[in-house]
Every structure is written in C-alpha cells, then in structure tokens.
Structure 1
Amino acid sequence: MPVDADAPDKPAKPGKSGNAGKPGKSAKGRSGEGDGPALPSTTDLLSVAVRALGGSERPGQVRMAQSVQRAIDAGDHVAVQAGTGTGKSLAYLVPAIRQAMISGSAVVVSTATIALQRQLVDRDLPRLADALAPELPHKPDFAILKGRRNYLCRYKVTAGWPEDEPDQLFDPREVSATGRMVQRIQEWAETTETGDRDELVPGVNEQAWRQFSVSARECLGAQRCPSGAECFAELARERAGKVDVVVTNHALLAIDAMEEFEVLPEHDVVVVDEAHELVDRVTSVVTDELSGAAVGLAVRRVAKLIEQATADRLQEAGETLEALLGAAPAGRVDDLPPVLGTTLALVRDSAAACITALGPRGGDRSGGAARDAGKDAEEMGLRKAAFNALDEVHDTAQRMLDAYGHEREIDRAEVVWLLEATDRRPATLRVAPLSVAGMLRDNLFGDRTVVLTSATLALGGSFDGLARQWGLGEPAAADGGAETKGAGWTGLDVGSPFDHPRSGILYVAKHLPQPGRDGLPQPYLDEIAELIEAAGGRTLGLFSSMRAAKAATEALRDRLDFPLLCQGDDSTMLLVKQFAEDEPTCLFGTLSLWQGVDVPGPSLRLVIIDRIPFPRPDDPLTSARQRHVAAKGGNGFMSVAATHAALLLAQGAGRLLRSQTDKGVVAILDPRLETARYGSFLRASLPPFWSTNDPALVRGALKRLATG
C-alpha cells in the first residue's frame, strides 16, 4: 500500500530543535509490561514469527531483538551491527510492531534503497503480520511513505503551470522522447487509482514527470486546491496515518526532521536500516546549488506576474552569474573572490526584489471581488511556483555568502564548490555542511528512540566513527569489542551466522606495486586474469572508478574464455540477473555494485577489489571535511578518508557470503592494506576471513571450488 509523506497543510514545527512540538517519549508511554495492553514479550513474539515462517532460532537475531526492546523501554538509542544472514529485519520489526500496538502511534522504518523497501513491504511485513496476528490486538498493517513528488498532481494535469526547463536546452531527439512520455502520462492519468509514479512501466524521465508533479513547497494545499479532495498524495498520506509501520527512506526522514512542515505521521520510534548510508543521504538533502539556469527558471516563473523591469534585474544577475561560473575553475572555493561575492549579492537582492513585487504569499489579490475558482487556483499555483523558485535562489545565494567570513578554519560550518559544466548541466555552485552531526542530534535523535542497523557499522572494530558522524557523541564504556555504551546510546555487534574463516579467504596481493593514478598497471590485469581463470569465471569485480572498470573489461574481454559484463552495458538490474543466472559469467562495475549485489550460490566465488576505495583527493566535500577535522585537533585522514574506505571495503567484501553454503575468495589487489599504517584499521573493518598473501595458494583454492 504505497503512500505519500509530504503534508504542507500541517502546522509548522515550532523551533525545529529537538523536534519541538512533536510528542516526546513520555507523551506516548513506553513499552514496559505495565504499559498499554498486555502483550507477549518480544522474545516470545520473535519465536512465534520464526516458527511461522519456517526458520530456526538465530542467537544474533535474538540478541538484536532484545537490544532493540531494551532501547525502546529505556528511551535510548542503539546501533546494531548484524551480518548478512542474521535476520535483522525480523529482529527490529518484531519489537517495532509490539511498540506500535502499545503506544498507538506508528513506528517508522527508514531504508536507503528501493530494493530493501520493496523487500520489507512485499515480503517481510506481509508474512510477519500474518504470523503475529493471533498474538496481537489486531493484525499489523503497514505502508510505504513516499515524497509528494512521486505522485501525480491532479490539478497540475489540467492547470497551465510553466515547465521547469525550456525545450531548447535539450537535444531534439530527447525532446521527442520526452514528448512521448508526456503523452503516456496523460493517458495513464485518466485511469490510475493511486497516481503512484511506480505504476508507470516502463518508467519516464524526470523532465516528463516534473510536468505532472509538485513538491511540498509548490503544493497549493488540500484546502485551497480545486483537486484537494481527490489528491492522490493527500489520500495516500491519510492511509499512512492509520498504519502501525511506515516504511520510508533516509531522505524523507531527513526532510521530516529538518523542514518546517510535517512529513511523517507522529512516531516515537525510528528504525534506520542501512544506517551506514544515513550521513551521505542527509548531506544530499541539505546540499543546495545555484546556477544561471536556476536563476533563469525563477525569472520564467515570475516574469508574467510582476513588472518587467524587476524581472529583468534578476535575469541580468543570472546571466552575470552564468558567465562568471563558466569561466571559473572547478573545485572548492575556500575564499570568496570579490567578484563572486558581488554577483551572489546581486542575485540575492534581485530575487528579494521579485519576491517583494509578488506581494503577499497566498490570499486573494483582487480586493475581494468574486472570481472564477479555477482561474483563482491557477493564479495561486503560478504564484506559489514563482515564490518557490525565488526563495530557492535567494536563500541559496545568502547561504553561500554566509559560508565565508570566519577567521579560523574551526569556525567554518559549510563548504562551497564549483562543478564544471557538462552536456546536461551548466556550471553550478554547491554548498553543503561540513558536518550533519548537530542536525541529526537535535532533529532526529532529540525526542525519540532511534535504532540504527547495518551489516557494516563497527569500522576498525569500533562504533565510534559513525557515532560521531551521527551526533551521538563519544562512548562511555566498552565490553570486549562486542558492546559499546555511550551517553544515551549503545553499540552492539551481534556477529554473523557465517563461519567466515572456514567459508572465505581474504587475499591481499602484497607482491603487486602500489596503484597509481594512470589506470590499472599491467601486473594488476595479469593478476585479475589469473584469478578469474582459476575461479572458472564466477567473479564480481569491484573497481574504484568506472574508468578502471571499463579499462579492465576492454583489456580482458578477449583474453578470457568467460563472458565478461561491465556496468553500463545494460541496466544494472539486468546485468546482475544475467550474472547470477550464468555461472561462468563475470561482472565488473563500480560504486552501486559494492553495496547492491546479492548473489548467493555458485555464480559468485570470487570478489576482486582493485584498490582501497579512498575518496578522490580533489573531492571538495570530503577534502574540506578532512581539513576541518584536522583544524579541531583530530586526524582528518582517519576520521574521513579512512572511514569512508573502511565502509566501502566492508560492504564490498560482504558481497561474497550471502548464504550458509557460499564459499570463496575476496581478493584485494592493493598492497597498502598490508603495508600502510592505516591497513590494520581497514582490515579490522572486514569480515574475519582466513587471510593470506600467497597467490598460488589462492588460485589452488579457487580451482578446487570450481571443480568441486
């Protein structure tokens, strides 16, 4: 039952700090045995669920469920590392559902990927609801909560709203293809019962969809919109407010915590699955950008609503910005050049003049005279779209100006950088926070229990790194590396049901040269070929860049007797399917494959990682964060770059064992994992495979697996 999240008609959150105005933990009561209806314990409910689903008890799953229940009872937070095969979804869903029954409010489950959302809603939750129904006051119900942009806007289908982009910015063939998509959306709009974009198969591009959807800020509101009574998003959100478990994503979770309007139903427990991606997803939500094209869009939206001279001022400011950015070098902008400062101020002030010229936000500008309701709503829609575009331009320009003027690096809060122009994007300035820890601490963790879980949280054997990034603070105590306690939070590693030393080998090619910047050295290509031949194909190659993945594919495709696929040859989903279904096939790719491949069985016996996946040294945000940590007396490299690499390495290595019968090798070709001082930190983040540096031994093991 897909539903929407954005609800601009709800009252704003006062203060926005600590989620003021939302019910705190004491408002709903906790889930102790004396509160609410008498229910079986979490352990008993988990046993019922496991038996009903035909599974067997897993110690790690039980420990995790009990830890989640303790956190709910105490009103604290818990971070749980649970390896593949633990059954972590069940371990957090059972106490979450129990809490929803007791408190009467929904529990929110947030994921990073659509795949996990679909798994929860299509498989895990329906089966679990059936299993637990006899033990609970009612059968648990659930919904996916989506952003308003994912739903067809009934009013926009018929209203004359301006398009976001002029056709001349696009290749004529692309315009034609988009036109066909627009026609298909219009036909679908006449029959759809949900308005959910996911119903459109095949899908449509963003350019086409934007013409039929609105953001929460653009929405007129159900009370003012002529189509408000039948709004797909409002109807979906109404259904969402009545369920026990709401499944959403990290971006929407961040929007709910940080925006001025309510998005999610009232809740006092949040489960953040795939929590290793939380910081990056939140950072994306709070990153703003500014370009000449963005200013031009604001001008087009406001031009017919105000005096031409006022709109022309903004147009000229946007053209000045576009010319300036087009001539400037890409990269981090540490010090504000006077000409850029003057231009940003000009853009800000011109946008402010347009906002003033538009007059009051909302309301009737006709002096109370009777008007046609449709015309009134159409004008309101055009005005709201104009306000939204102008606010974005004004506030982003001001935010960029505010990023400067600090005497010390330690006082800097944000970083600004310039992206060079591409075929699909003009030169663009971006601004992002150096840390989201304070935002998360105040707005997400402030007044509710948060459960954070993933197969990869204890980096370097410790929860400290991610806990600091989340804003949870330093740990107060530790227990043998398995449990970490901090002020108001606990970190727990429940392990994995896999016998890693018996099932897998970690091979570090210590004899190879250090990787350089000029692509894959020939010894690396030779090593990859020898390993794949020994494995009989069956290889997932994870590369630090798409350039390296393509270079390896081109160099080895004719050299090997096995089918070799490369990310980009087709959709990633189809490539993974082909890889899984044909045992000898190999698949090479980059970032999405490091975390998005689940291929149990004999089709995957070898995972090759070409180099330690440090962020690029010239990455503006990462490098700025490193410098900021160093200015505060910390180790910027270890806190940022090494933590990033450890997370990806652990995720990549985790592709090997996906079922109890899986066996194989993780081969890391970068010798720095053995020779560099930071190598021990990175190795401590990896699963506890049996390790070796002997290439002959590894090739022999792979050959035995291939023939056995």
Structure 2
Amino acid sequence: MPDSHLPPVEELLSAAVTALGGSERAGQIQMVQAVQRAIDTEEHVAVQAGTGTGKSLAYLVPSIRHAMGTDSPVVVSTATIALQRQLVDRDLPRLAETLAKELPHEPSFAILKGRRNYLCRYKATAGWPEEDEQDQLFDPRDVSATGRMVQRIQEWAEETETGDRDELVPGVSEQAWRQFSVSAQECLGAQRCPSGAECFAEMARARAGEVDVVVTNHALLAIDAMGEIPVLPEHEVVVVDEAHELVDRVTSVVTAELSEASVSLAVRRVARLIDQPVSDQLMEAGEDLKALLAAAPAGRIDELPEVLGLTLALVRDSAARCVTAMGPRGADKDDPERAGQRKAAFNALDEVHDTAVRMLEAYGHAGEEDRAEVVWLEDGTDRRPPVLRVAPLNVGGMLRDKLFGERTVVLTSATLALGGTFDGMARQWGLTDDKGWNGLDVGSPFDHPRAGILYVAKHLPQPGRDGLPQQYLDEITELIEAAGGRTLGLFSSMRAAKAATEALRERLDVPLLCQGDDSTMLLVKQFAESEPTCLFGTLSLWQGVDVPGPSLRLVIIDRVPFPRPDDPLTSARQRHVQARGGNGFMTVAATHAALLLAQGTGRLLRSMDDKGVVAVLDPRLATARYSGFLLGSLPPFWRTTDPAVPRAALKRLSGLS
C-alpha cells in the first residue's frame, strides 16, 4: 500500500498504547516522530531513551508502517538474547494483533540467528564426515552428562519444526551442540547438501524474507554488512537497539586468533586429502608457533620480533601450499561426504592463512598514527594454550562504509549521550557531521531528582590495587544495614566482588549472594524474590539486571570502571588517538567508564514507583578533572557527598527510621 494511504505514525502509536492498556508519554511520541522522520529523509538518527520510555513501541510502530508501505522488511538488531526474546515473544505478538485493524494486514515478524544456532539435518543424520579422534571431545555413547545431552538432541531433532537451539530447555553444552551444527563456512550450501531442501537455517532465512520485521543480533548484523554473501534479507532500514554495545560486538566479529590449536585443526582436516609431506610442513609450522608462544610474555606486541615474523610467514606459506595441493574449490560436487571434508579443510586453512597475513600486515606502518590493527598474546590456561589475537583499532570506518552507507539506521539505547553529547558514540560508529545524522535525547518518564540520590563518598581514599580498603568495607556495611539489605553491588572485578562477599557475610545478617555461586539468571531471580537479599557481582550485572520494586533500593559501585591499563586493545586505541592529536584518555578510557557508569546507575529505577540510592565509593567521581564528563553521562539524580543523607533516606525507605 502507498505510504500516503497508511495512517500517520502518531495515530498508530496511540492505537497501540490504548489497546495495550498504557498511556502515551511525551518521550515516546518524540521518539516515534524522530524515527519516522529518519525513515522519510533517509538520515540516520541516534535516540537516547531512558528506561520506561517505551522505546520498543516507538521504533516498532514506524518500522512496521515502513514495511507495509514498501514491501521491504525492517531489521531490528539487539545485543542480548533477553531483548530478542522480549521482542519476539511479547512485544511484537501483542503489537501485531493490535495494529491488524489499522493496517492492510496483520504485521508479521521472525527471528534470524547465525547458522550455528540451527540444527544441521545432514550432520544430525550422520551424513557429515566424522571428525578424527582428536576432534572428538567425548564418546556420545558414553553415559555421561554430555552423552545424555547428545541423546536429548537426537530425540529433539526428530520432532523440532525450527531446529532453533533455544528451543532446547534446559540448554545443552557447546560440546554437545557442536556435533549437530555447522558454521556458515562449513556449510555445503542448500544446492549441494542432501538435506538442503529441509535445512532449518535456510527455512529461517526464507521466513525472514517474507515478514515485516526481522529480529536479529549485532553479530549477525555485522557479518551481513561486512561479508560478501548476505545473510539477512534485502532491507532499507535497520534499528539498532542497545546501540551502546554495537562497537564491541562488531569488534568481536572482526577479531581473529591464531594458535597451535587452530593450526593443528587445519592439519587434521587437510591431512586426509593431500600428500603427507605438504601437510607435515604446516604441522611443523604449528609446532614452531606453539613453542614460540609458550615462551613469550603475554601482552600487546607493538613491534614485530624477527622470530615471530618468520614463524607467521612459515604458517602463512605452509597453509597456502596446502590450499594449492587441495586443487579447485568446487571439486567433488557430486560426493557430499567428500565435499564436506574439503569445505571443512578449506575453511580451517583459510582462517589460519588469512590471520597470519593480517598479523604480518599489522606492522610496517610509518608511525603510530598510521597503525590500523593491534596484535597481542593472550596467556594460556589449564584448558587452553596461549593464543595470538589481532583486532582493528577502529571499526568506525567499516561501519560507515558497510552499514551506514547502504541503508537508513536508527540507533537507540538508554545510554548514548556521554558527557551530555552524542559526539563520542558517533565517532565510534564512524558518523561525522557530513554523514547526515541527528541525535535526540527524549529523556525519561522518571523524576530522577525526587526518586533517587547519587551519593559519592568523597571522604574515602582513592581505590588502590591491593583490593578493597577497610574503609570501603565499613561504608558498604553501613549502607546495607540502612537499606535492610535490598542491595545490588557492582564491582570492577570479580576478585573485588568475591572479597567483599567473603568479608561482609560475617558482618551482615542479611542473605548475600555473589556472582558465580549459581547461574546469573537464577541469582538475579533469587535476589528479586527475596527483599532483604543482596547480590554482588561484576560486568554482566552492570547491564543485565532488571529488578523493579522494593527488592532493590541501593546500588553500590566500588570504583569508576575504567578499563584495565594493561588491556591490549583499549590501551592501543588510547595510544592511537593520542598519536593523532586527540585526548586518548577521554576518548577511550573515560568514554568506556562513562558508558558503564550510566548503565550501572540505570539499574536503580526500573518502574515508576521505584526509589533509592546509588552510592559510588570512588571519590574521583567528585574530585577528578574528568568528573564533570562522567557526571554529565549519568541520570539527573539528586547529588550529595554527605554520608548521613543516603543512610537516612535508606532507613526511611526500609522502615528502619
């Protein structure tokens, strides 16, 4: 239907809000108009919308309207499985039913994930070439936990209609699932695979091509944008929810690694297909790499040591000779088993070869300002040998060319305007003033100054490297006692979270949970259901906890969450900005800290009736030269540095005063 014949977006939003029993909010109306304007003008827009704004409706309504008017799906990308499930299981079904009366037909939607998330029928029916003994991590016939999972997958494979791994409840381990799934690189292709006509991944993609809204994740969005073969249906508009996570997720997708294990896998897969002397050369190169990495110190590698350069070149050249020995890539089309073996071998060889090339090309630049990528060595563990990694210093250029250059993008999150401006996030995304984009903060329905206090413990010493000072433990104890429990403790490291838990369990008479005691999901559920309970943890709790109501009255943050000084990627990015004349600390470290602080403080108010205190124990938030930038990134709580104020407020809220 032509766009002019469809109801205005405000009318559709009003109908949806009324039908769903809600009430329109000024920020939601602002946002829905901004998204519609971006679609109409083909200009990108970044919208900061606080918790409670109703941002899902605000972008879904104009997205559905656009899909109806153009017969082209809108892609909605999220960072977390939780939000994907919320959209597909709750928001979209209710909205589709509501808007069916206002639109030509009931809006349709589908979720699309990476191929690894779908069961491979060919592999499940044992048609896939068996891995050799070193790849076989267990015997499926063995009556063990993993063996039982394999048996459960086999039974489920007979009845599932989607092949989606998330249907398996309870879930299964990666070990077990790997026996039934293939990556995009390993896949034979629907035309060549004996099970191609009934492939779950292909059916999911076909469904996605016929609906109005396709829900996916940032990783698949990046693969679609950066790759040569599209994995998403053709689309003109993308909505990136949880957009503050986009850069990290894209960076993960384009980060590559090289280790003795990855070389050994390539050797095992190719050894059965080519002459042994050729594969032996790659095996020897892998052994040289193993010995070198075992002896080298972990950390960033700024200059290429001669011995590492020679070893990487040996790996590269040996892998290239194996590829040549394999012959044409399209051979054995009529023999699926042989074709599967060759595809798996080519995939492993390409990964080893291309990563070695990329690492060698990371060096040889004229100056620090010309460096494009960083290489570092990550220490091994009991379960994993040392590994070399390579990552880009900046993904903004890729995003500008591959994502923003091809379509209209709507970016939204509760935390985008850092230091009161969108400029920092825009730089990371590769958006510049001449690129055609707008930023809009639609605020929050919460009355932050009345509902919450931001307390900065200015009187405490600066945090050190030797764990939590005694004064911090005393402060935490007094605050939790005033709140009667009901506390979420967000710590900068797991070590700090565990140390605080151990020390305070002896001093407090309220239940105290620590991340790692059980699955994070179960711990959060237990915390939400028991008012006096406290929950301590680290990174995933800063962004992943939604506990409205009286179970959460106090959020404690132990320190400003700067990245670790020895983190190879962030330290390299900081130095790179500095070399180009920018402020590396503010652009990288302070922006990282501001984003996490905003996410952490955002845990406090999750519903209109919530009240409480955010207590930051790190005095630098009040005294450091960068404190204004950090404070400008946070919700506008009423602020104090007087320790008596938050304690009195918490006692009133908990009925202890």
Counterpart for residue 528 of structure 2? 580
Whole-Å separation in 2 of the counterparts to 1:496 and 1:667: 21
Deviation at 1:498, TM superposition (A): 0.3
Match of 2:535, SS?
strand
Question: Partner of 2:442 in structure 1?
Answer: 494
Residue 698 of structure 1, CA deviation: 1.2
| Pairing 1:105–2:53 present | no
Whole-angstrom CA distance in 2 between matches of 1:694 and 1:236:
57
TM superposition shift of 1:179: 3.0
User: What is residue 672 of structure 1 aligned with on the other side?
Assistant: 620
Quick check: 2:141–2:147 contact (8 Å CA) kept in 1?
no
Further displaced range: 230-239 or 253-262 = 230-239
The residue type paired with residue 528 of structure 1 is: I
2:648 corresponds to which residue?
Answer: 700
For residue 160 of structure 1, report the CA deviation from its aligned partner: 4.2
Matched, 1:425 2:384: yes
User: Which has the higher mean CA deviation after the structures are superposed, 127-136 or 432-441?
Assistant: 127-136
For the 8 Å contact 2:137–2:175, the answer to whether it is kept is no
- Of 58, 64, 89, 1:122 maps to 89
Report deviation, 1:425: 1.6
Are 1:508 and 2:456 an aligned pair?
A: yes
Secondary structure in structure 2 of the residue aligned to 1:193: coil
Residues 339-394 of structure 1: CA deviation (Å, up to 9, x unaligned): 000000000100001101110002338xxxxxxx6xx1000000000000000000
TM-score, normalised via structure 1 length: 0.91
SS in 1 for 2:101: helix
- Aligned positions of 1:512-661 closer than 5 A: 512-661=460-609
Q: CA deviation at 1:407?
A: 1.8
Is the CA contact (8 Å cut-off) linking 1:501 and 1:689 kept in structure 2?
yes
Identity %: 81
Q: Distance in 1 between matches of 2:393 and 2:133?
A: 31
Output the CA distance in 2 between the equivalents of 1:172 and 1:323: 33
SS at the partner of 2:100?
Answer: helix
Counterpart-to-counterpart distance in 1, 2:483 and 2:143 = 47
Please report the TM-score for the alignment, with normalisation by the length of structure 2: 0.98
**What is the CA deviation profile of residues 401-426 of structure 1, one whole-angstrom value per residue up to 9, with x for unaligned ones?**
00000120011000000000012221
Q: Is the 8 A contact 2:3 2:66 kept in 1?
A: no
| 2:349 aligned residue (385, 390, 393) | 390
Give me the whole-angstrom Cα distance separating, in 2, the residues matched to 1:417 and 1:118: 36
Q: How far did residue 198 of structure 1 move?
A: 1.1
Superimposed CA distance per residue, residues 33-81 of structure 1 (whole angstroms, 9 cap, x where no aligned partner): x954600111111111111111111000000000001111100000000
- Counterpart of 1:20? none
Question: Aligned equivalents of 2:508 and 2:86: distance in 1?
Answer: 36
- Aligned residue runs from structure 1 range 39-118, under 5 A: 39-118=6-85
Q: Structure 2: how far apart are the matches of 1:549 and 1:593?
A: 11
Alpha-carbon distance between aligned partners in 2 of 1:162 and 1:71, rounded to the nearest angstrom: 51
The answer to whether 1:354 aligns with 2:322 is yes
CA contact (8 A) 2:455 2:639 kept: yes
Partner of residue 271 from structure 1, selected from 212, 224, 239:
239
Q: How does 1:210-225 map to 2 (within 5 A)?
A: 210-225=178-193
Aligned residue pair count: 655
Q: Distance in 1 between matches of 2:479 and 2:138?
A: 45
Which digits, 9 at most, give the CA deviation of each residue in 1:641-699, with x for residues without a partner? 00000000000000000011100000000000011000110000010000001111211
Structure 1 residue 338, shift from structure 2 partner? 0.4
Name the SS of the counterpart of 1:405 in structure 2. coil
Query: Would you say 1:380 and 2:339 are equivalent positions?
Result: yes
Q: 1:171 to 1:682 in 2, by over 3 A?
A: farther
- Residue by residue over 1:564-612, the C-alpha shift from the partner in whole angstroms, topping out at 9 and shown as x without a partner, is 0000000000000000000000000000000000000000000000000
Q: Which amino acid aligns with 1:235?
A: M
**Counterpart of 1:454 in structure 2: which amino acid?**
S
Q: 1:183 Cα shift?
A: 2.6
Q: Distance in 1 between matches of 2:246 and 2:558?
A: 26
Q: Tell me how far apart the structure 2 counterparts of residues 174 and 663 of structure 1 sit (CA, whole Å).
A: 53
Q: What is the match of residue 294 of structure 1?
A: 262
Partner residue, 1:451:
410
Secondary structure at the counterpart of residue 146 of structure 1: coil
Residues 232-311 of structure 1 correspond to what in structure 2 (within 5 A)? 232-311=200-279
Aligned-pair distance for 1:218?
A: 1.0
Asked if the contact 1:162–1:301 (Cα under 8 Å) also holds between the matched residues in 2, the reply is: no
What's 1:399 paired with?
358
Q: Go from structure 1 to structure 2 and tell me whether the alpha carbon gap of 1:174 and 1:67 turns closer, same or farther (over 3 Å shift).
A: farther
Match of 1:440 among 387, 399, 407: 399
d(CA) in 1 for partners of 2:308 and 2:277?
A: 24
- In structure 2, do the counterparts of structure 1 residues 306 and 355 end up closer, same or farther at CA, with 3 Å as the change threshold? same
Counterpart residue number, 2:173: 205
Q: CA, structure 1 residues 168+249, in 2 after alignment: closer, same or farther (shift >3 Å)? A: closer
Alignment CA distance shift 1:165-1:86 (3 Å): farther
SS in 2 for 1:94: helix
SS in 2 for 1:677: coil
Moved more, 604-613 or 486-495: 486-495
SS across alignment from 2:566:
coil
| Separation (CA, whole Å) in 2 of partners of 1:425 and 1:99 | 48
1:308-338 Cα offsets, whole Å, 9 max, x none, are: 1111110110011011001100000000000
Q: Is the 8 A contact 1:532 1:539 kept in 2?
A: yes
CA distance, structure 2, for counterparts of residue 186 and residue 506 of structure 1: 53
Following TM superposition, by how much is the alpha carbon of 1:172 offset from its aligned partner in structure 2, in angstroms? 13
| Alpha-carbon distance in structure 1 between the residues aligned to 2:137 and 2:340 | 24
Question: Which stretch of the first structure deviates more once superposed, 148-157 or 562-571?
Answer: 148-157
Aligned residue number for residue 288 of structure 2: 320
Q: Tell whether the 8 Å contact from 2:52 to 2:445 is kept in structure 1 after alignment.
A: yes
Distance 1:122 1:644, change over 3 A: same
Tell me the distance in 2 between the aligned counterparts of 1:230 and 1:129: 28
Preserved contact between residue 332 and residue 338 of structure 2 (Cα < 8 Å): no
Q: What's the counterpart of residue 463 of structure 1? A: 422
| Contact preservation (8 Å) 1:164, 1:210 | no
SS in 2 for 1:135: coil
Compared CA separation, residues 167 and 587, structure 1 to 2 (3 A): same
Structure-2 change in CA distance of 1:386 and 1:167 (3 Å): closer
| Cα distance in 2 for residues equivalent to 1:691 and 1:128 | 39
Task: Map 1:170-181 to 2 at 5 A.
Answer: 176-181=144-149
For the 8 Å contact 1:607–1:665, the answer to whether it is kept is yes
1:345 aligns to 2:319 (yes or no): no
Q: CA deviation at 1:209?
A: 1.2
Deviation at 1:191, TM superposition (A): 2.5
Distance (Å, rounded) in 2 between the aligned partners of 1:176 and 1:387: 33
Separation (CA, whole Å) in 1 of partners of 2:363 and 2:182? 33
The C-alpha deviation readout for 1:139-166, integer Å capped at 9, x for no partner, is 0000111111011111112124243882
| Alignment partners' CA distance in 2, 1:341 and 1:528 | 51
Letter in 2 for 1:113: T
The residue matched to 1:515 in structure 2 has which SS? coil
Q: Distance in 1 between matches of 2:461 and 2:208?
A: 56
CA distance in 2 between partners of 1:335 and 1:176 (Å): 47
Corresponding residue of 1:16: none
Deviations for 1:174-210, whole angstroms, at most 9, x for unmatched residues? 9943333223222322222221111222211112211
